[in-house]
Amino acid sequence: MRLLTPFLMVLLTFPVVNTVALAHAVVTDHTLRIESVRANTAKKVELAFNSKVEIGLSQIFLVSKGDKHTLLTLSKGEKKGYVNVDIPALSPGDYALRYKIFAADGHITEDVIHFSVKP
């Protein structure tokens, strides 16, 4: 029993950890993958999450050259878990969206999506 206990703990912990991880808001799709962002043209990008998102508690920053962060405006997307973000007109170059998404379950997910603006 002494030896078995650690094994049982591992077996019991794994499914629980898995379930919790699945409950977090994770980007499953976003329109930046499909369409490119044109230079000097403001654009609305839709991000799809696998969980209901609390818009008011979530933040998306535009990261530009020199690690400059700009807070972007978010709005509710058409479907559950969809968030629209307004990307301002940008000059050609490499950018990223750094997001902190607050899921309905109270967890925060942070990640970065890279994209480039073509001339």
List residues near Cu ion by CB under 5 A: 23-24, 105, 107
23 vs 113, beta carbon nearer Cu ion: 23
Q: Which is nearer to Cu ion, 49 or 95 (CB)?
A: 49
Smallest distance from the beta carbon of 31 to Cu ion, in angstroms?
24
Smallest gap from residue 110 Cβ to Cu ion (A): 12
Minimum Å gap between C-beta 119 and Cu ion is 40
Q: What are phi and psi of 25, to 5 degrees?
A: -75, 120
Q: Name which of 108 and 113 has its Cβ closer to Cu ion.
A: 108
Cα(74)–Cα(71) distance, integer angstroms: 9
Distant-in-sequence, close-in-space partners of 106: CB < 8 Å, separation ≥ 6: none
Complex with Cu ion: residue 23 or 63, whichever CB lies closer? 23
Q: Shortest Cβ distance from residue 22 to Cu ion (Å)? A: 8
